Structure 1
Amino acid sequence: MLIVIFVAVLWYGGLFFQSFFLHRYAAHQVFTMSKTMERITFVLTWIFQGPSYLSAYGYGIMHRMHHAYTDTEKDPHSPSHDANLFAMMWKTKTIYQDINTQRIEIDQRFTKNVPQWKGFDLFASSRFSRLLWIAAYILFFVFFVTSWWQWLLLPVTFLMAPIHGVIINWFGHIYGYANYTMKNTSKNLFRFDFLMMGEGYHNNHHKHASSANFGVKWYEIDITYLIIKLLDATGFIRLKPIAIK
């Protein structure tokens, strides 16, 4: 049971910081935070994403490119132009690494105000850091596994961020329903997004990219947005007026 709880904490913890920090803050900047709070959030993102840590800089730029080029050949990840989800994710990984290592030239409109902490990202994205997390996870499993099937969850802990990305960027453009007719294939995966904490309302998000709340219908409860509202009310962050809906 402890293994299942551990995996659930990593799943929802890593997902929250990907949605809250990398997506809504770094890419869309729907709220502001102090430099101290930003640095704390960098560290918390590393702690919860572990071996699959994503930099705010690489993620933020790549996601802005996704919105600008959705479902075109320039889209960093699109089921419309990739043979399968593995091909899409491999291309995504390559573009992400090219952005972080500055191997490709990026239009300035995609880099404006994207948070970056070069020194920390260099460590958190290093092979040493990733292997350290993997070793820690393996040790945790060695001590607390109580049944053979729990070992099947171990690879999931190594690949949390890519799995989250596949669910939204592949399945979120193929399956589900749409509240808005748009010139892209974005879908809402769930009517109540219990699995992706609001990220699954992908069609809504493509329609209202500057909104902090991805839910539109009464039953589309955006759990990440509720936490954002709490953090705003307690003064840890400040929602921008245009992002409040």
Structure 2
Amino acid sequence: MYILIFFLAHWFLSLFFQTFYLHRYASHKMFTTSKFTERTFHLMTFIFQGSSFLNPRAYAIMHREHHAYSDTAKDPHSPYFFTDVFQMMWNTVQSFRLYEKRLKEPDAEFKGNYPEWHLVDYYGSTMISRIIFGCLYITFYIVFATHWWMFLLLPIHFMMGPIHGAIVNWCGHKYGYANFDNNDKSKNTTPFDFLMLGELFQNNHHKRPNNANFAARWFEFDPVFPVMKLMHWVRIIKLRPATLNS
């Protein structure tokens, strides 16, 4: 029971901060907040992503490139230019590291207006940080696992962030239905979008990239949007006015 709770908590907390902070804030600036609150979200992203912490600057740059070049040869992770999801993941990791380590500069249109915290971004991306988090996960499993098969979940903990990204980028552009013609192959992968906290409403999102509500039709539900509206009402964040009545 403890292992299941830990796995689900890690899955959804890591995913929440990926979609809420890295995607909707760092990449799209769907809301504003104070510098203190931004730093709090930044630190929580590092803690909950743990061994698979994704640098917000690198994430934002690549995501903006993805929108600009969706499903073309310049898209950094379109499934239509790779034979399988593993090749797509590897190419994404290689491109991500170039921006993470500042070995490559983005085009001007993709640069700036993303959160940076050099101390956390640097140490969160080091191998020692990833190993420490990995050891913590392993220790928890040693203490609480009751069956050998539970240890098979550990690789998912180690690679949680990239796994979430691979599911969204592969499934969200190959499987499902489209509400809008976006001149790309983006899809809405219902009902699995709920397990991905709305991230699999890719077709809706590519149509309205700056709308905080990824759902568009009556039967679609983005579970992160009500959380964002609550944060807005209690003045933790300030949503863009266009998203409040969505």
The normalised TM-score by structure 1 is: 0.97
Deviations 1:49-106 (A, max 9, x none): 1100001101011100000011111111011112211111111111111112221231
Task: Quote the offset at 1:166 in angstroms.
Answer: 1.0
C-alpha distance after superposition, 1:189-229 (max 9, x if no partner): 11473201111111100011010000011121111111111
3-state SS of 2:39 partner: helix
Looking at structure 2, the residues matched to 73 and 170 of structure 1 have their Cα atoms a distance apart, in angstroms, of 15
Residue of structure 1 equivalent to 2:193: 193
Structure 1's consecutive aligned runs of 4 or more residues displaced over 4 angstroms after TM superposition are none
Structure 1 CA distance for aligned equivalents of residues 59 and 192 of structure 2: 26
- C-alpha deviations, 1:120-149, integer Å up to 9, x for none? 100111111100000000000000001122
Aligned partner letter, 1:160: M
CA distance in 1, matches of 2:105, 2:134: 33
User: Counterpart of 2:196 in structure 1: which amino acid?
Assistant: M
Aligned partners of 1:151 and 1:33: how far apart in 2? 39
Q: Secondary structure at the match of 1:70?
A: coil
2:152 aligned partner: 152
Partner of 1:61: 61
Alpha carbons 1:3, 1:145 under 8 Å: kept: yes
Aligned match of 1:23: 23
1:142 and 2:142 are equivalent in the alignment = yes
Q: Which residue of 1 aligns with 2:206?
A: 206
Aligned-pair identity (%): 47
1:70 matched to 2:70? The reply is yes
1:1-40, aligned counterparts within 5 Å?
A: 1-40=1-40
2-structure distance, mates of 1:59, 1:161: 11
What letter matches 2:104 in structure 1? I
In the alignment, what sits opposite 1:215? 215
Structure 1 residues 90 and 121: CA distance shift in structure 2, 3 A:
same
Q: Which deviates more, 185-194 or 167-176?
A: 185-194
CA–CA separation in structure 2 for the residues paired with 1:192 and 1:3: 23
**Displacement after TM superposition at 1:150 (Å):** 1.1
* Cα distance in 2, alignment partners of residues 86 and 182 from structure 1: 26
**Contiguous gaps of at least 5 residues in structure 1:** none
- Return the alpha-carbon distance in structure 2 between the equivalents of residues 228 and 140 of structure 1: 31
2:47 corresponds to: 47
Cα separation, 1, equivalents of 2:216 and 2:25? 20
CA contact 1:210–1:242 (8 Å) conserved in 2: no
Q: Classify 1:173/1:70 alpha carbon distance in 2 versus 1 (closer, same or farther; 3 Å).
A: same
Q: Distance in 1 between matches of 2:114 and 2:69?
A: 18
Partner of 1:132: 132
Once the two structures are overlaid, the 10-residue window that deviates more, 69-78 or 104-113, is 104-113
Deviations 1:10-29 (A, max 9, x none): 00000000000000000000
The number of aligned residues is 245
Q: Which amino acid aligns with 2:99?
A: I
Larger mean Cα displacement after TM superposition, 165-174 or 137-146 = 165-174
Q: Residue 171 of structure 2 contacts residue 200 of structure 2 at CA under 8 Å; is this kept in 1?
A: no
The letter of the residue matching 2:150 is Q
Question: 2:122 corresponds to which letter in structure 1?
Answer: L
**What SS does the corresponding residue of 2:81 show, helix, strand or coil?**
coil
- TM-score w.r.t. length of structure 2: 0.97
Counterpart secondary structure, 1:173:
coil
Mean Cα deviation higher: 200-209 or 188-197: 188-197
Q: Name the Cα RMSD after superposition.
A: 1.1
